[in-house]
Amino acid sequence: MASADYMKDILRRVQDLPKVDQQVVLSHLRRLHPIHEIEAQWGVPAEVILEAISRSSDLSQRGIRGLIAEAYFETCVLPTLEQWEDVSPPPGNVAYDFAIRKGERQVRIQVKTQRRKAGRPMTANEGYRRFPSDLFVVETQKTRSGTSSDGGDTRPYRFDDFDILAVNMEPATGKWEQFRYTLTRWLVPREDDTTQMLKFQPVALTPNEDWTDSLGTCLAWLESGVEKTIRHQRRA
C-alpha cells in the first residue's frame, strides 16, 4: 500500500499537469474504474449517458430530475427517520414512490419536483391566477395519461393514492437535499371531481402551517387528524 506522502506527491503531480494531460489520466482511470454498474449493463460510459441526457427534450429531462429527487429522498431523508422501516414497493407498481412502516402503521409518500417554467421556478399564480404569487407550484398528476373504463381521466392523482406529498425544492434553492412536505388530504381538489387533486398545487418556500421541511413534523400532522386545505387564494 502506498504511503500517504507518496499519494500526495502523485496527486500534486497530476494537479500540476496541463489540462489536456489531466484528461488523459482521467480517461485512463475511468476505463479502470467505472462510476456505476449501469455502464457495464448498458455498455456505455457515464460521459455518453450524460451527453444523451443533455441532448434530450425538456420532458425527458424533467423525468430524470424527478428520479434524482427520489434518489435524494431515499439517501438523505429516509435514513434520518427513527423507528420507521422502509417498506417501499418496486418502482412503477403503485401510485406512490415510498412507503414507511412503524408497527401496524404504514404511510405512503409521493415525491415530486418543484415545477420549472422557462428554466426558472414556476410561481403558483402561473399555474392558476387565483393562486398567490408568493408561492411556487408542484404538478400533482401522473406522467402518462389514460382513460378509465367509464371514460374518466386517470392522469390526476386521487386523494387515496398516497398520504404525504414530498416536494423537492432544488429549482428554488439549488439544493437537492431540501424538501417541503404536506398531507395529501390538505391538497386542493379539482372542482369537477373532489376525489382527485388539482393539477397544480401551491408550495411554500419557507416552512409554514401548511408546509414543513421536516418529514417527522409531517408525520405528526398526519397523526393529528387535522382537516383543512392548504392556502391557495390570494390574500386580500
Q: What is the pLDDT of residue 148?
A: 54
- C-alpha cell of residue 51: 451527453
* Predicted local distance difference test score (pLDDT) of residue 35: 86
Tell me which residue of 112, 100, 172, 186 sits closest to 142, measured CA to CA.
112
Q: Which grid coordinates are listed for 152?
A: 374518466
Rounded to the nearest 5°, which phi and psi values hold at 66? -65, -40
Distances (CA, A) of 116 to 56, 145, 209: 16, 20, 24
Tell me, yes or no, whether 60 lies in a domain: no
Specify the pairing of strand 105-113 against strand 164-168. parallel
Considering the domain boundaries, does residue 166 fall inside one? yes
Q: Is the dihedral of CA 61, 97, 92, 124 positive or negative?
A: negative
Give the residues of the chain that fall short of pLDDT 70: 1-2, 143-153, 236
Domain boundaries, position 158: 82-224
Asked if the structure places residue 15 within a domain, the reply is no
Alpha carbon 23 to chain centroid distance?
A: 33
pLDDT at 234: 80
Handedness of CA 47, 177, 231, 140 (dihedral sign): positive
Side-chain half-sphere CA neighbours of 38 within 13 A: 5
Segments of the chain assigned E as strands: 85-86, 98-102, 105-113, 116-117, 120-121, 136-139, 164-168, 179-183, 200-203
Instruction: Spell out a b/e string for 61-91, using b for 16 or more CB atoms within 10 Å of the CB, else e.
Output: eeeebbeebbebbeeebbeeeeebeeebeee
The whole-number pLDDT of residue 92 equals 76
The tens digit of pLDDT for each residue in 140-162 reads 988 666 555 555 567 899 999 99
CATH assignment of the domain containing 116: 3.40.1350
Residue 33 lies in a domain: no
Q: How far is CA 19 from CA 14, 28, 117, in A?
A: 9, 14, 36
Q: What is the pLDDT of residue 176?
A: 96
Distance between CA atoms of 69 and 89, rounded to whole angstroms?
17
103: in domain: yes
Q: For residue 115, tell me if it sits in a domain.
A: yes
Q: What is the pLDDT of residues 62-81, one digit of tens each?
A: 889 999 999 999 999 999 99
State residue 34's pLDDT score. 86
Does residue 23 lie in a domain region?
no
Instruction: Report yes or no on 35 lying in a domain.
Output: no
CB 124 within 8 A of CB 133: yes
Interval 171-180: pLDDT, tens: 999 999 999 9
Total tally of structural domains belonging to the chain: 1
Question: Which H helix or E strand runs over 30?
Answer: helix 19-32
Distances (CA, A) of 68 to 76, 84, 176: 12, 23, 8
